Structure 1
Amino acid sequence: MSENTPVSDKVDRVEAIIEQLENGEVSLEEAQELREEGEELLTELEGTLAVGDGEIIEQ
């Protein structure tokens, strides 16, 4: 996903990856690829969102 992808789409993709991994119906290789994609998305989200005073503020 690009940096221009909305935050909600990135969060939805992370949730989909988690569901796929929890189902356990993916090969070890595919699970590794999904994990890497999820880590990249989470890094992007951390860079996009800042937490302050209990609120999430989009930068």
Structure 2
Amino acid sequence: MKDETIADKTDRLEQIIEQLENGDVALERANELHAEGTELIAELESELAVGDGEVIDR
């Protein structure tokens, strides 16, 4: 996932949320999706780090 853009990651996160909200996934798959979503959120937070109200360019 390191080569994906922020837009790619947010799109994937939205797909995960939709799948989980639909409830049409098995519990094991839901856990996998949750783990993937959590990882994506951590990556996005890192890339979009904000300090003193300004975006920090990394």
Classify the TM-score, shorter chain.
0.7 to 0.9
- What are the superposed Cα offsets for residues 7-38 of structure 1, whole Å, 9 maximum, x if unpaired? 00000000000000000000000000000000
Separation in 2, partners of 1:57, 1:22: 33
Query: How many residue pairs were aligned?
Result: 57
How far apart, CA to CA, are the structure 2 residues paired with 1:58 and 1:11?
A: 19
Give the equivalent residue in structure 1 for 2:7. 8
TM superposition shift of 1:51? 3.0
Query: Which residue matches 1:29?
Result: 28
- Given the two structures, how large is their TM-score scaled by the length of structure 2? 0.85
| Letter paired with 1:11 | T
Mark the runs of 5 or more structure 1 residues left unpaired by the alignment. none
Q: Match for 2:12: what amino acid?
A: R
Which structure 2 residue ranges, 5 or more long, are not aligned? none
* Structure with greater strand share of residues: 1
Which residue type is aligned with residue 19 of structure 2? Answer: Q
Fraction of identical pairs, as percent: 58
Secondary structure of 1:5's aligned partner:
coil
